[in-house]
Amino acid sequence: MTIKTQLIAGILALAVGSPALAYEEATVSDGGTITGTVKLDGAVPKPKGYNLTTLPDPFYCGRISDGQGWRILQPFQVGSDGEFRDVVVYLEGIEKGKPFEEKTVPQIEARDCLFLPFTTVVRDDQSVTVVNMDPVMHDIQAYETSNLGARVLFNVPLPMNSQHPRNFKDRTEAGMYHKHMAGPPMKQLVNLSKNRRIFVMQCGFHAYMESWGLAITNPYFAKTDEQGRFTLTDVPPGTYKLVVWHPYVRTTTEQTVTVSPKGTVEAAISVPAPTGRLYANEVLDHAYTRYNVTEEAKKEIDPLVHKQDH
């Protein structure tokens, strides 16, 4: 299964097909607050793994690896007590409420051969800006799901800053280079098909670079912090669905909440940890046998910046 096929399959499994309600902005004078925690219940899934010998720029991108020739991508950020970090919590069934905050266009950075942040919240028909901070070329390929299958949102190169060195002679030279300078910003419109709310962006050169986006229909959303906590404010009195979203949790986790005028609701949400194999790319037990990496080559793959855990 190719990386593109794998990502498309993931998007199709995550399609949100419920019709979106038209949202009306208004002053909320008696709004309440929803606060709470999100925890992952069960074993944290294995990370994704990509062998650096099969992909471009192994010197620079290999500065961060597991020391066995693998670049690791862990989509699940979980604390020691199950605190589920960096997941999106949002309300459904709300037709009228506080205005959207007018902020700058969301920005995604390519930094140390990662797309950051891993999840982004946008409004449909809103642009995102992608910037390359690395001294290597990247490429952005973004997809959404539709009723006809996956659809390309945009596919453009991501140039690097011209002041970066163009090539590294060896891993030591790459490992000693730590500058991050912004290349030309690439501003792209996220225009999803009707009722679609999820898109994914990957690098066409470095398969371990991916970033997911959720298009929201109202301003009542938050991303959980290091303690897995979130807060939604100025919520109009009423009963709503509180939904938790993570791109690799294929089952919906939601909770019904009732907000009273100027009241506070505390929600404790438990997300069942997905089980089984979630993706095609995993670290292999006998990587060197498969990829014919010699003992001499092993000496050249120790990470010089950060050693990752499986």
Distances (CA, A) of 92 to 4, 15, 23, 280, 303: 31, 16, 11, 32, 44
Q: For 25-99+219-309, CATH number?
A: 2.60.40.10
List where CATH 2.60.40.420 sits in the chain: 102-164+178-218
Question: Which conformational region is residue 67 in: left (phi greater than 0), alpha (psi within -120 to 50 degrees), or beta?
Answer: left
Task: Look at residue 244 in the predicted model and tell me its pLDDT.
Answer: 97
What are the C-alpha distances in Å from 86 to residues 229, 231, 248? 10, 13, 13
CB 196 within 8 A of CB 105: no
Q: What is the pTM of this model?
A: 0.86
Dihedral through CA 243, CA 246, CA 252, CA 257, nearest 10?
A: -20
In our burial notation (b when 16+ CB lie closer than 10 A, e otherwise), range 51-76 reads: bbbebbbbbbbbbbbbebbbbbbbbb
User: What is the token pair recorded at 123?
Assistant: 């409004």
- What is the chain's pLDDT, residue by residue, as a tens digit (310 residues)? 444 544 444 444 444 444 455 889 999 999 999 999 999 999 999 999 998 888 899 889 999 998 888 899 999 999 999 999 999 999 998 999 999 887 668 899 999 999 999 999 988 778 899 999 999 999 999 998 766 677 888 899 999 999 999 888 888 898 889 999 999 999 988 888 777 889 999 999 999 999 999 998 899 999 999 999 999 999 999 999 999 999 999 889 999 999 999 999 999 999 999 999 899 888 776 554 444 556 666 666 778 888 898 7
**In the chain, where does the domain assigned CATH 2.60.40.10 lie?**
25-99+219-309
**CATH 2.60.40.420, domain 102-164+178-218, yes or no:** yes
Q: What are the start-end ranges of the E strands in 105-170?
A: 107-110, 115-116, 119-123, 126-132, 138-146, 149-158
